[in-house]
Amino acid sequence: METPSTIGKYQIQGVLGQGGMGIVYRAFDPAIHRPVAIKTIVKSALDPADLQYALTRFRHEAQAVGRLTHPRITAIYDYGEDMEIAYIVMELVNGQSLFHHMQNQARFELKEIGEMVRQLLDGLGYAHSLGVVHRDIKPSNILINDDGRLKLTDFGIARIDSSTLTQVGEIMGSPGYMSPEQFLGTEIDARSDIYSVGVIAYELLAGRRPFTGNNAEVMRQALSERPVNPSEFNPKISVQLDWAGQKALAKQPSERFQTAKEFSDAFVKGIEASIRVSRRDPAATTLADEPTQRIDPKLLQAARMLAGLQQAKADAPTEPRMPASSQAPASSGSPASAEASAAPPASAATAAQTSAKKARILFVDDEERILTALRSVFRMHYHVFTATNGPEALEFVKKFQPHVVVSDQRMPEMTGVELLRRVKEIAPATVRLLLTGYSDLAAIVGSVNDGEVFRFVSKPWDNQKLQKTIGDAATIALELAETAATPPILPEKLDAGVLVIEPTRETFGAVKRFVGGTCPVYHAPDFDGAIAQLDAHETALIIADVAHRGDEPLAAFKVLKRERPEILVIVLTEASDSELVIELINQAQIFRFINKPVSPDLLKQHTQAALTRYQSFKQNPHLTHQHKVAAAAAESSVGDRILARVKALKSWF
C-alpha cells in the first residue's frame, strides 16, 4: 500500500512502524497545528473471517483510552473509518518502546528501573480507578520519550467494566506476560495487570523473564512453579525487592498487591534498599518480542486440567516438609566497620556445612551499618537476608521460612521481642536470637517468655563468638527442618512431675493446687535436695526461686541443661541483674522467667506451657536440640560438684 498524503483531515509526514494488520504514520493536524501518530488497520490485509473481530477490538481501544487522560497513558484524539482503513489518531511519542531498548541490550540502573516501574504503575492505577484493565502489559506496549518519560499504549484488548468484548473463557494476551487467571480463562481484574508489571520488573532486574520456553511451558510454569528470586541473576537486588517481585507474581490474585499503588510503594522501597549494593551487572540475554495472540483453546483446556490437579494435590494430606531454599543478597548500607573484616573461623564454617543445604538467616536491624557488617561476616557460609523493620521481616518469614532469625530490640515500628514472638507463631521451627546494645531487663525477660530466644547477643559483638553462636543455631535449625514434628498429645495424667525448689512451700502449694491430679508435684529446699528428687522421680519441669543463692543457680542449671536438655526450668527472681539473666538464657536455656511477687495466673500459664513442651520432647526427642548449650571450657567449683551428681542421675527420657 502506498503512503497516502492525507488520512481524513490529517497530513501524513512519514511511516513510524508497520505490523501485520496495518501501519503507524507520523502526521500533522493542520487545524490545531499538532503533530500526531495515526495507527491504521488496512482492511484488505486481513482475512474476512478476522476483519470484524479486529475492527471491534480497534474501536474498543479508542473507547477505552478515549476516557483516560493521564500523563503516563498515550492519549487518543480521534477515530475514523472508510472503505479501506480504520484509524486511531493518537499522541505522538518521540521515543522508542521499552522492548526496543531491551532488545538493544540497554542496561538500566536500579534507580531508572524503579522510576520506570513507578511511572507504569502510576498510569495503570489511574486506568484501574476508572474501571479499565489493560490485560496486555508488555515491553513493546510501553513507550519511552526521549526525555525519559514513560507512556503506556495499545489498549486493544483492554477490559472496561461495561464491556462485553472479551468474555470470561476467552484467552487473549502475550503468553510471557500473562497472569495465571488469563491462562485459565477466568475472571480478569486489575491484579492481572499487576502480575504483568511484575514480569516486566523481573525482566528488567534479572535480564530474563521469570518463566521461559514455548507457550505450553510458560503456561505450566506460570500455573505451578514459583520463579527463582531475581537476586539469583542480579546480586545487586535486596531481599526487599525480591519480596516485592514475588508478591506481584503470586499465583492467586488475592495474594498479590491489591492495587498498583501498593506495588509501586513496595517496589520503590526495594529499589532504594538495593541501590546501596554495588556488584556486577546481570549477564546479557537475547530478547524476542511477545506478540499478542489468541491462545490455542487446547492450552486453555490443559491449563484447567493442570489447575485441577494442583488443587487436588493441595487438598490431599501431606507430610510436613522443609520449604524450598531461596537465596537473595542482603541489603547493604554504608561500608562495614572493622568488626566485619575477620573471616569466619573453621568451626563456624563446619557448623554451617553440616547439611548439604545452606541455612537461611534473616538479620533484622534498622541500622544499615549493622546489616552490612553482619552480611559481610556471614554471606560466605549462609544464605543471608536482611530486613530493616519488623513488618518487612514478618512478610519475609511467611514467604521464605528462614532457619534462623536474628533481631535487634530497639526498632521504630516493632520491638525485637514482639517480632520474635510473632516469628515463633508463624514459623515455630526457627531458631531465634535477640541482638541488642543495651541491658533492658524487661526486654531480656520478654525475649525468653514471648520469643523463646536461643541466645541473647550483646552489641558490640565479638566476631568469633557470634559466628560460633550462629553456627550452632544454623545446625540446630537445619536438623529441626529436616525432621517432621508431631503435635504433642497430652494424656489425662503425666508420669513426669514438677519439682519446686524454694526454701518455703508457698510456690509449691500454689502449683499443687492448679496442677491438681495432672502430674505429681515435688519439693526441695535447695539444689542438693533437688538432685535427690531428680534421681528418684521423672521430672518435666523445675520451678526454682533463685533469690539470694549466688552463683549456684547458674552453675546448676547450666550443667543440668547440658546433661538433661529435656528438663525445662522456670526461674522465679527478684533480681534486677540483667547480666545474670543473660547468662541464664545463653548458658542454661531457661524456659521462662517470672518476677516476684509471683502472679498465680502467669505461673499457671507458664507451667502448662512447659508440660506441653515436655510432652512434645518425649514424642519428638530431636526437638531438644533447640535447647542445646555449649560445653564449658572449665566449670566452677560449684559446677564441678553438681556435674558429677547430674551425670550419675537415672535417665527417665
Kindly report, residue by residue over 16-53, the tens digit of the pLDDT: 877 656 788 899 999 999 999 998 888 887 777 777 77
Peptide bond into 597 cis (omega under 30): yes
Rounded Cα distance between 196 and 277, Å, is 26
* 285 pLDDT more than 60: no
Most confident listed range (58-62, 124-128, 273-277, 649-653): 124-128
CA distance 468 to 454: 13
pLDDT at 167: 35
Cis peptide before 460 (omega within 30 of 0): yes
Give residue 176's identity as a one-letter amino acid code.
G
The answer, yes or no, to whether residue 505 has pLDDT greater than 70, is yes
Summarize the confidence of residues 93-110 as an average pLDDT: 84
Segment among 258-262, 313-317, 577-581, 644-648 with least mean pLDDT:
313-317
pLDDT band at residue 311 under the 50/70/90 scheme? low
| pLDDT at residue number 29 | 93
Check pLDDT > 60 for residue 633: no
| CA–CA distance, 251 with 239 (Å, rounded to integer) | 20
Residues 68, 71: Cα–Cα separation, whole Å: 10
Domain with CATH 1.10.510.10 in the chain: 95-310
519 or 172, higher pLDDT:
519
83 has a pLDDT exceeding 90: no
Question: What integer pLDDT is reported at residue 135 of this predicted model?
Answer: 81
Q: Check pLDDT > 70 for residue 169.
A: no
Mean of pLDDT values over 342-347: 38
The pLDDT tens digits of the residues spanning 174-222 come to: 788 988 988 888 888 899 999 999 999 999 999 999 998 888 888 889 8
450 carries an active-site annotation: no
The least confident of 170-179, 393-402, 484-493, 568-577 is 484-493
Catalytic residue among 136, 365, 408, 472: 136
Cα dihedral: 558, 563, 566, 570 (round 10)? -20
Residues 422-438 have pLDDT tens digits of 898 888 888 888 877 65
CA distance 264 to 243: 13
Q: Average pLDDT in the 274-292 region?
A: 58
Q: How confident is the model at residue 548 (pLDDT cuts 50, 70, 90)?
A: low
Range name among 134-143, 197-206, 377-386, 568-577 with the lowest pLDDT average: 568-577
What is the value of pTM for the model shown? 0.46
Residues 498-525: b if buried by 16+ CB within 10 A, e if exposed: bbbbbeeeebbebbbeebeebbbbbbbe
CA–CA separation, 526 and 503 (whole Å): 7
Q: Which fold has domain 6-91?
A: Phosphorylase Kinase; domain 1 (3.30.200)
Burial of residue 162 (number of CB atoms within 10 Å: 0-12, 13-18, 19+): exposed
Q: What's the pLDDT at 465?
A: 83
Indicate if the pLDDT at residue 525 is higher than 50: yes
Return phi, psi of residue 178, to 5°: -80, 145
**In the prediction, which pLDDT does 592 show?**
81
Number of Cβ within 10 Å of residue 604's Cβ equals 15
Q: What are phi and psi of 96, to 5 degrees?
A: -130, 165
| Average pLDDT over all residues of the chain | 77
Tell me the CATH class for 338-482.
alpha beta
pLDDT in tens, 506-524: 889 889 888 877 889 999 9
- Out of 117-126, 154-163, 234-243, 614-623, pick the least confident: 154-163
Percent of the chain at pLDDT > 90 equals 17
| More confident: 485 or 236 | 236
Residues forming CATH 3.40.50.2300 domain(s) in the chain: 338-482, 497-647
Give ranges for CATH 3.30.200.20 in the chain. Answer: 6-91
pLDDT higher than threshold 60 for residue 333: no
> Which superfamily does CATH assign the domain made up of 497-647 to?
Response regulator (3.40.50.2300)
Amino acid found at 479: E
* Joined grid coordinates for residue 157: 484488548
CATH superfamily ID and name for 95-310: Transferase(Phosphotransferase) domain 1 (1.10.510.10)
Question: What SS3 state is found at 114?
Answer: helix
What's the whole-number mean pLDDT along residues 596-617? 82
pLDDT tens digit string along 435-471? 776 555 555 565 566 557 777 777 777 788 888 888 8
Compute the distance between CA of residue 553 and CA of residue 569 in angstroms, rounded to an integer: 11
Residues pairing with 544 in the sheet:
501, 571
Question: Does the pLDDT of residue 251 top 70, yes or no?
Answer: yes
pLDDT of 482 > 60? The answer is yes
pLDDT (0 to 100) of residue 566: 85
**More confident of the two residues 195 and 84:** 195
Q: What pLDDT sits at residue 639? A: 59
Predicted pLDDT of residue 483: 63
pLDDT bin (cut points 50, 70, 90) of residue 352 is: very low
Alpha-carbon gap, residue 124 to 68, rounded angstroms:
10
